[in-house]
Amino acid sequence: MRVLIVEDESRLARNIAQVLKESANFAVDVCTEGVDGLHMAKTNSYDLIVLDLMLPGMDGLDILSKLRSVGKSVQKYIFDRFYRIRRARGEVSTGSGLGLALAQEIAQKHHGSITVQSDSKSGTDFVVTLAQL
């Protein structure tokens, strides 16, 4: 298993990496800045990414949002049952493909909606609107 640790506290990052290497024999990469972490995550294939929230350059939530951005060609299908996004490397995302379909159905039953706005620069935002009762 290959792991990326994005943590600006170098001692903590070293300790986490050491535990993963020694106890589970994982291949571990470490970086200490958000922008570097995003670059490494986009250019390599990782099974797990450990993200600190408060990082120099870009915080962990921004990194996560940018990694999870959804292309325009996919947005029209994202709420379909059993639809799963195929990533650039040909990998199919894990999961059943039901989460967003069920969330949309629940929102509609409450006279609301869910929309998605996404681009590779700002990441993905889901907007849930519900009617006032």
Rounded to whole angstroms, the Cα distance separating 100 from 105 reads: 8
- The four Cα atoms 38, 65, 74, 47 give a dihedral, to 10 degrees, of 50
Residues 21 and 44 in one domain: yes
Q: What is the CA radius of gyration of the chain?
A: 18
Residues 51 and 78 in one domain: no
Residues 62 and 104 in one domain: no
- Identify the CA nearest to 104 among candidates 96, 116, 93, 94: 116
Residues 85 and 46 in one domain: no
As for how many domains the chain has, the answer is 2
Per-residue pLDDT in tens (0 to 9) along the chain, 133 residues: 899 999 999 999 999 999 999 999 999 999 999 999 999 988 888 888 999 989 999 988 888 877 776 666 666 676 777 766 665 555 555 556 667 788 888 888 888 888 887 777 777 777 888 876 5
Residues 58 and 81 in one domain: no
* pLDDT value at residue 85: 61
Residues 109 and 57 in one domain: no
Rounded to whole angstroms, the Cα distance separating 113 from 9 reads: 41
Strands 123-129 and 113-119, by their bridges, are: antiparallel
Residues 59 and 89 in one domain: no
Rounded to whole angstroms, the Cα distance separating 100 from 97 reads: 7
By residue range, what is the domain housing residue 102?
A: 72-129
CATH code for the domain in which residue 114 is found: 3.30.565.10
* pLDDT value at residue 52: 92
CATH code for the domain in which residue 20 is found: 3.40.50.2300
* pLDDT value at residue 107: 84
* pLDDT value at residue 96: 61
Residues 9 and 59 in one domain: yes
